Structure 1
Amino acid sequence: MANMGSETGVTTPKPTTQSSNPGNPWAPFAQRWSVWRHNTFNNMSETLATLYKRNSNGKLQQWRIWAEGGAYYTEEGIVNGKITRSKAHTCEGKNPGKANATTPEAQAIKEAKAKWEKKLATGYTTEASSVDSTGYREPMLAKKFEDYKAEVTYPVEVDQKLNGMRCNITAAGARSRKGKPIHTIPHVLKALAPAFKKHPHLFLDGELFNPVYQNNLNRLIELTSVIFQPKDLTRELLDESERIVQFHVYDGFTTEVDSQAAFVDRREVLRQLLQNVPSVHVLQSVRCTNETEVCEELAKTRKARKEGIIVRWGVCRYEFKRSKYLLKLKNFESDEFEIVAVEEGNGDWVGCAKRMILKLHKPVVARDGSTVTEFAANIDGTRQSLQRMWKNRMLLPGKLATVEFQEYSEWGVPLIPWVRCIREYE
């Protein structure tokens, strides 16, 4: 077995130093192969540190992976608690007989490293002591109002539901909902620097959004994509980001007013701390005393063609998971579907993407008895963004498009669907 300490290593076969059959004419070749194989795997092996993060209950969780022979293993659990080890995940060599062929042992090393890097990219950290300052924790997510309205006690706090890109910001930087770093908003981080200097453990949960661009969401999502790495940043891109992208704060907490404090207290602290910070806006809640008033607030957003509202009730402590104390009401349905193809417009819209063919989550049977696996949706956006999409159309199949629609038909196909944006950040 591999070393079971705080770090994991990759074990490899030891070389054969002498032949067990001196009379075998192939023995010298076998010996050279054994030595080459050992040295190759030793060069490829590396130590993969144990990774840490906070789970949804606030407990410190650890995860590690190592390769052994032609397989890899993982261990995870609560620090100083129960640790669960996986069964062996066996690997097969790739491209046999070719110059880039790999052995099962090499493939196990490669796959273990890829999984370790994926964990690291989504908010895990190599130092347990730095989890709260550099690690990532999932934001608090909403459940459906209809499912819990019988439990709701009034009054409640109501916010507009924004349809930008979810973003958490700490002193370590900005991350997407799934924990991937966002590099294209240095103007927001610079504006927030004094707040983090005063409160190093400040946690901010919000949305990268601009109400002026709510009908051109694709461009805002493009600008905040996690695809952009530091090497990709240009002055032109950053200038456009500064002109368009704002950070709208939903929630957050500091050491003094922590995640267990009441929502109204957290919001007030954030409002005082972040007032007059450029490109940063703390949402303004409306207090509703009954369900009728909640429905009236929803109607206002419908009239303004906005997505819907968010309702917070009870103390509404900050939870790093979906919570029944954070509820959503939407004016229309929305979902993500895999892109199959992009179609060009005609007439004045030649050279622009105007329609997408999208894959249903599962085949459905239509009224005429035929099996339907795809549907078409028009695409929202400016002429410039649709021209850019058509130019890059070959890169889009397989990615996810966010589609808004009135409802599902009786046979399971979205009605009056519109593609609002292409999600590449999660």
Structure 2
Amino acid sequence: MFRVCQAHFVKDGLAAMLCSKWTASKHDLLSQVREGKVSKLYCSPKFDGIRCVATLKGLYSRNRLKFDSCTHVHDDVCKLLKTPYLGFDPAKIMLDGELFFMGKDLPFEKIVSAVKKTSKHITPQDVKLQNKIKYHIFDMNLTADHFRKMPYIERMYHIQQMLKNAEKKGSLKNHCLLSVPIRSFRTQDELDNQLEGYLDRGMEGIVVRTPGGLYEPGKRSKGLMKYVPMMEEEFDIYDVKPGAGKFKGSLGSLCCVTSTGKKFFANPAVDEDMRKEWWKKRKNLIGKKATVKFTRYTVHGVPRFPSAKSIRNAGNKRV
């Protein structure tokens, strides 16, 4: 388990906006495009990195834990925000983006290892890895009252112009700040074509944005939607774990094994009644096959973000 530093909470209003699911809103939004209520929607790559919000005070996780690492990124963030631009107050800007390295030699697990260590535990090797990481900016929150209603497409324009302005003035010495590219689309087919291209380049998926979407700190917003394809495979169950808290007295997780012998836990993606039913017949689950949804295999050969949707011959409710 990686160590992280103690929480340093950001001021109210500087929490990250949370993603909702594209599949939950796509029919309504695509209908608005067809009817001319919205001219187009926008998409950008979803990086397989670490979500990071950045201010003059530091780099923070989505859960508002302050990172001790990637000082090269924060140095350039401070220079970017302090470079005069249209009278923006640098103390009232929060950048939102992803710490990521575009290359196969630094996968997600290594990025996490390098970024989430405290200054006490950072090694020269960690610093070497950190210096490869760039900050891909996909939004910003302007907390000054007269900027709170700024729509997404205007915020992206200003991010691009701020970066150009700072580069032109030679402010950014580490060259580690990038604006995430955006593309417009009008149909699901166009979005799927963009998604295929991003997946071919090693991205996790795609992010969909509405042109007029506001930045909603701490909220799961329809102005920020993720579209990540899921893999689905069957795995042998070798053990079960009990639930805790509200799941006490029901199944907590299935202990599964891959065909190569790698073990992992999969949380049940079923309702509470089915969790209880599976727990009652837990002895009979050993040796059966669970259908597991996950995003991809990690470098360690186990499914990432696994959830068990059904168990063969166990009386299932699929979700």
Give the TM-score of the pair, scaled to structure 2.
0.66
Q: Aligned runs of 1:7-406 on 2, under 5 Å?
A: 121=7, 123=9, 131=11, 137-152=14-29, 153-154=32-33, 155-198=40-83, 199-213=90-104, 216-225=107-116, 228-242=117-131, 244-254=132-142, 255=144, 258-275=147-164, 276=167, 277=172, 278-320=175-217, 321-332=219-230, 355-361=262-268, 365=278, 370-371=284-285, 380-381=298-299, 403=304
Assess if the C-alpha contact under 8 Å between 2:253 and 2:267 holds in 1.
Answer: no
Change (3 A) 1:253 1:324: closer
Summarize deviations over 1:183-233 as a string: whole Å, max 9, x none. Answer: 1110101122212324232210111111214872111111111xx223333
What SS does structure 1 have at the residue aligned with 2:226? strand
In structure 1, the residue corresponding to 2:42 is in which secondary structure? strand
What is the count of residue pairs matched by the alignment? 255
Q: For residue 326 of structure 1, report the CA deviation from its aligned partner.
A: 1.8
Check whether the contact 1:332–1:404 (CA below 8 A) recurs between aligned residues: no
Higher relative contact order (CA 8 A, sep 6+): 2
Rounded to whole Å, the distance in 2 between the matches of 1:312 and 1:168 is 18
The residue type paired with residue 250 of structure 1 is F
Task: State how far apart, in whole Å, the 2-side matches of 1:323 and 1:214 are.
Answer: 33
Question: Counterparts of 2:48 and 2:156 in 1: how far apart (Å)?
Answer: 20
Structure 2 vs 1, CA of residues 360 and 256 (structure 1 numbering), >3 Å: closer, same or farther? closer
Describe the shift of the 1:188–1:314 C-alpha distance in structure 2 as closer, same or farther (beyond 3 A).
Answer: closer
**Structure 2: where are the runs of 5+ without partners?**
1-5, 34-39, 84-89, 233-240, 242-251, 269-274, 313-319
Structure 2 Cα separation of the partners of residues 222 and 288 of structure 1? 36
Cα shift at 1:410? 3.6
Residue 252 of structure 1 contacts residue 259 of structure 1 at CA under 8 Å; is this kept in 2? no
Residue 339 of structure 1 and its aligned partner are, at CA, apart by: 9.9
Give, in angstroms, the shift of residue 164 of structure 1: 0.8
The one-character-per-residue Cα deviations of 1:286-341 (angstroms, maximum 9, x if unpaired) are: 0112333122222323444532211111411101111112222112269xx99999
Which residues of structure 1 form unaligned runs of 5+?
1-119, 125-130, 347-353, 390-400, 413-426
User: What is the DSSP-based 3-state SS (H/G/I as helix, E as strand, rest coil) of the residue aligned with 1:324?
Assistant: strand
Identity %: 17
CA contact 2:14–2:141 (8 Å) conserved in 1: no
Cα 1:257–1:302 change in 2 (3 A) is: farther
Contact preservation (8 Å) 1:191, 1:279 = yes
Return the offset for 1:408: 5.0
Whether the 8 Å CA contact 2:56–2:77 is kept in 1: the answer is: no
Deviations 1:381-421 (A, max 9, x none): 2xxxx6xx9xxxxxxxxxxx97156x855438xxxxxxxxx
- Find the residue that maps to 1:251 and give its secondary structure: strand
**Bigger radius of gyration:** 1
Q: Could you tell me whether the CA contact under 8 Å between 2:55 and 2:94 is conserved in 1?
A: yes
Give the aligned residue type for 2:192: C
Q: In the aligned structure 1, how far is the partner of 2:283 from the partner of 2:256? A: 27
Structure 1 residue 259, shift from structure 2 partner = 3.8
Cα-to-partner distance string for 1:218-262 (whole Å, 9 max, x where unaligned): 11111111xx223333444223211x2111111004449834201
Measured in 2, the distance between the counterparts of 1:339 and 1:138 equals 31
Structure 1 residue aligned with 2:311, among 394, 411, 420?
A: 411
Q: Distance in 1 between the 2:277 and 2:176 partners? A: 45
TM-score, length basis structure 1: 0.51
Contact kept? 2:153, 2:211, Cα under 8 Å: no
Contact 1:339 1:357 in 2 (8 A): no
Deviates more, 1:307-316 or 1:288-297: 288-297
SS of aligned partner of 1:260: coil
